[in-house]
Structure 1
Amino acid sequence: MCMAVPSRVIAVDGQMATVEAFGQTRQTSLMMMDEPVAVGDYLILGAGGNFAAEKVAEATALAAIDYLSQVLSDGLA
């Protein structure tokens, strides 16, 4: 099963971005993005996290992160 977790952009270097989700950072390619990406944007990653697939609105991203946090904490209890 694949779950799309919004990742916040914390750095951009050309066609690569460093993103963070749940305390984990990773590098992802921006080559597939059809719009500019900036620090603070939220992205959905595809292809195992190797490529950014789409940008999502901050409110949508934060709601998804909040929901996932609740689900994960309920599953650990």
Structure 2
Amino acid sequence: MFSLANSYQAFAEDGTLTDPGLQQRLTETVTAFLSLVEADVRYVCLERRWYEFLGDRTEATITQRAEA
């Protein structure tokens, strides 16, 4: 999650944020999100282990993913 107060003033002409610290935080947030999406798509076995850790049934989830 990334919140941006006064967003109408936060962007430069080229579309980047005027505050370098916020720009870095936004870049890191998006990069982490993309890594999470890639892990969700590519590593189904990790999903199974995570759901088993939480105590949920995994058969339906894995079957639905395989069919998609």
- Structure (1 or 2) with the larger CA radius of gyration: 2
Fold agreement, TM-score > 0.5: no
Q: If the length of structure 2 is used for normalisation, what is the TM-score?
A: 0.34
Structure with larger RCO (C-alpha < 8 A, sep 6+): 1
Q: If the length of structure 1 is used for normalisation, what is the TM-score?
A: 0.31
Q: Larger % of strand: which?
A: 1
Q: Larger % of helix: which?
A: 2
